[in-house]
Structure 1
Amino acid sequence: MRSIRAAAVGAVTMSLALAASACGGGSSTGGGSNDSPKTLTYWASNQGTSIEVDKKVLQPELDKFEKQTGIKVKFEVVPWSDLLNRILTATTSGQGPDVLNIGNTWSASLQATGALLPWDAKNFEKIGGKDRFVDSALGSTGVQGQDPAAVPLYSMAYALYYNKKIFADAGISKPPATWAELVADGKKIQAKGKNVLGAEGANVSENIHHVFVFAKQHGADFFTADGKPDFANDGTVAAVKQYVDLMAKDKVIPQGNAEYAQNQSVSDFAKGNTAMLLWQSASANLKNQGMSEDDYGIAPVPV
C-alpha cells in the first residue's frame, strides 16, 4: 500500500495534518498529482462526548484550512470501537484516508504494516521541526530507533477528579494522595450516602489504561529485556488484583459499575452521584454534561 505524502504538504498551516500519517488514496482534480492534492480525506477519532460534538469542533478548523491552502477536506469522525478495524481494513485493501487519528498504543503495530508515512527529518521540517513536540509524546509514535509513524496531536494524562461539595460534607479537606487514603476517605463518603469512585467495568480500553497505571506503580514492565511480551509478571498481576479489589474488597467502586460502558462513570460524577473519578482530560466532557468547573477539583492519581 503506497503512502500518500499529502499529510506533510498542508501541515504547515493547519493542525489537521498533525493527527497522524497518510494511509490511503487522496484525490486530486484539475490534472494535479497526488503530491499536490485538491481534496484530502480525514478520519478523526471521537474525542468529545459525541460524534456530533466533534463535527462541530472540527468543521470550522477544516474550513480555515481550506481557505488557507485551497485543499478541501472530507472528514468522518470514527468511534474508537470501530477505528482500529477500519484502519486495518484500509491497510489491507489500499483504500483508506490520507490523514487519520490513531491511538498511540497502536503505533508500532500499524507502523509495521508500512502503510503510514515515516516522519523523517525532511517531513518534520515541513511542520516546524521535531523540537516542537514533547519527547514523551513523540516517543510513543512508533518503534524505538525508527522514524515515527505519526506525530502527536492530543496528549492526555489521567488525573483524580473529586467533587468539592461531597468532600466538604464528609469532612474531607484534601484529595487522597495514596490508595489507602482513598479507601479511608471512601468510608466517610459512603456514610453520607454517596458513591465513592466511578469505574467502567464493561469498557475494556478504560480498564486496560488503569491496569497500565497500576502496573507501573508496582514497578512492572510488559516486555522482558530481550523484547518478549510479559503480561503475567508479579507486578502486573498485583496491579490487576489491586484494581479489581477496589470493587471486590475495598468496596469503594459500586458493584453496578461492573456493567458500565463508555462515559457512564463520567455522567454519574457530573450529576453529583459519585465523589471521585479517574479520567483523562475530563473537563470538556463534564462541562458538556452541565457540571461547572467550580464544582470539582483535580489531583494526581493516587500512588
Structure 2
Amino acid sequence: MRHLRAAAAITLAVSVVAGVTACGGGTSSDGGSNESPKTLTYWASNQGPSIEADKKILTPELKKFEKETGIKVKLEVVPWADLLNRILAATTSGQGPDVLNIGNTWSASLQSTGALLPWDDENFEAIGGRDRFIDSAVASAGKEGEPPAAVPLYSLSYALYYNKKMFADAGITAPPATWDQLVEDGRKLSKDGKWGLGAEGSNLSNNIHQTFVLGQQHGADFFDEQGKADFTSDGAVAAVKQYVDFMAKDRIIAPGNAEYARNQSLTDFAKGRTAMVLWQAAATTFAAQGM
C-alpha cells in the first residue's frame, strides 16, 4: 500500500547574474568583477502570503547585510507568475538584477543562456565551500556535469494539512497514512457543501509537483533509455490518473477546483470549506487568513 510520506523536495535557488548588465554595477557583461558595488539589485521570488509580507521579512535581513558590508540592496519581490518572463526579458535585453531567485526546474535552461554565474569550486569556496549545502539540492541547480547555475536557498517539501475539527465531526480520529485512507476519509468529509481535499487545476506548477510525487511512488522514470524526456511510461500515466481521479472518480475534490489558480485551495482550507490540502510552506498563508 503506497504511503503518503514520500514527498518531493522543491528547491529554490539564488543566482548571481553574470551575462547581463546589472543595475547595481556589481558585475560586468563578461562575468568579471568591477569595483565593489555600492548597491545591488535583488529580485526575490514571492514565498509568503503576499508581496508585502515578503518585503517585511526580507528587509531587516538586507539591512543587516548593508550594515556589515556597506552595500545597499535594492529589493523587488516578483510574483511567480511573472518571474520567469522577467528573467528571460532581462537575459534578452542585457538589463537585469545583480542577484535573483530561480526555481530549480528552470536551472538548466537558464544556465544555457550564459547569463548566470557558474558556481565552480572557486566561487563556492568564496562563500564557505560546496559542502555547506546538501548534495541533492546543489545537483538540482544546473545541468549534470557542469557547475550549477545557482546556490540552494530554500528547500520545501509537501505536507498534508488537515482540519482537526472537520475530522472529529466526521468521526475520523487520525490523519490518513496511505492514499487509500485519504480517499476513504475524503469521502466521509465530502458532504453538506464541503469537500475532503483541495486542489488547483489551473496551477501548472502545483499539478506537476503532485504528479511527480505520485510518479515516484509508481516507479515512473521521466526519461527513456536514450535520455530523452518521456511522460508516457506506465508509472507516469498511473500517477496522472490517480491525481485526476481524486476529483473525477473518487469525488473528494470539488469539481470547481479544476479552475482554481494559485492559493485558492488554501483559502478554502483556511475558511473550513475543505478538510485537507497538500501543500508546501502553507502555514504563513493560513495564518494570514486567520487560521
Q: TM-score, normalised by structure 1?
A: 0.85
Counterpart of 2:227, as a letter, is: G
Please tell me whether the aligned partners of residues 161 and 276 of structure 1 are also in contact (alpha carbons under 8 angstroms). Answer: yes
1:23-172 pair list within 5 angstroms = 23=18, 24-26=20-22, 27-28=24-25, 34-172=34-172
2:185 corresponds in structure 1 to 185
1:6 corresponds in structure 2 to none
1:202 corresponds in structure 2 to 202
1:47, distance to aligned residue in structure 2 (A): 0.7
Counterpart of 2:76, as a letter, is: E
Please tell me whether the aligned partners of residues 170 and 192 of structure 1 are also in contact (alpha carbons under 8 angstroms). Answer: no
1:5 corresponds in structure 2 to none
Partner-residue secondary structure (3-state), 1:206:
helix
1:227 corresponds in structure 2 to 227
1:34, distance to aligned residue in structure 2 (A): 2.5
1:175 corresponds in structure 2 to 175
Counterpart of 2:213, as a letter, is: V
Partner-residue secondary structure (3-state), 1:154:
strand
- Which of the two has greater strand per residue? 2
Q: Which stretch shows the higher mean deviation, 170-179 or 261-270?
A: 170-179
Q: TM-score, normalised by structure 2?
A: 0.89
2:17 corresponds in structure 1 to 22
Please tell me whether the aligned partners of residues 169 and 192 of structure 1 are also in contact (alpha carbons under 8 angstroms). Answer: no
Partner-residue secondary structure (3-state), 1:153:
strand
Give per-residue Cα distances to partners, 1:82-138, cap 9 Å, x unaligned. 111111111122111110000000001111111111111111111111111112211
Distance 1:35 1:235 in 2: 53
Q: What is the alpha-carbon root mean square deviation over aligned residues?
A: 1.6
Give per-residue Cα distances to partners, 1:19-52, cap 9 Å, x unaligned. 22224334349xxx73411111111111111111
2:236 corresponds in structure 1 to 236
Counterpart of 2:56, as a letter, is: K
How many equivalent residue pairs? Answer: 271
1:257, distance to aligned residue in structure 2 (A): 0.8
Which structure 2 segments of 5+ residues have no match?
1-12, 27-32
Please tell me whether the aligned partners of residues 198 and 268 of structure 2 are also in contact (alpha carbons under 8 angstroms). Answer: yes
Distance 1:156 1:137 in 2: 11
Distance 2:261 2:206 in 1: 9
Which structure 1 segments of 5+ residues have no match?
1-17, 292-303
Please tell me whether the aligned partners of residues 188 and 196 of structure 2 are also in contact (alpha carbons under 8 angstroms). Answer: no
Counterpart of 1:122, as a letter, is: E
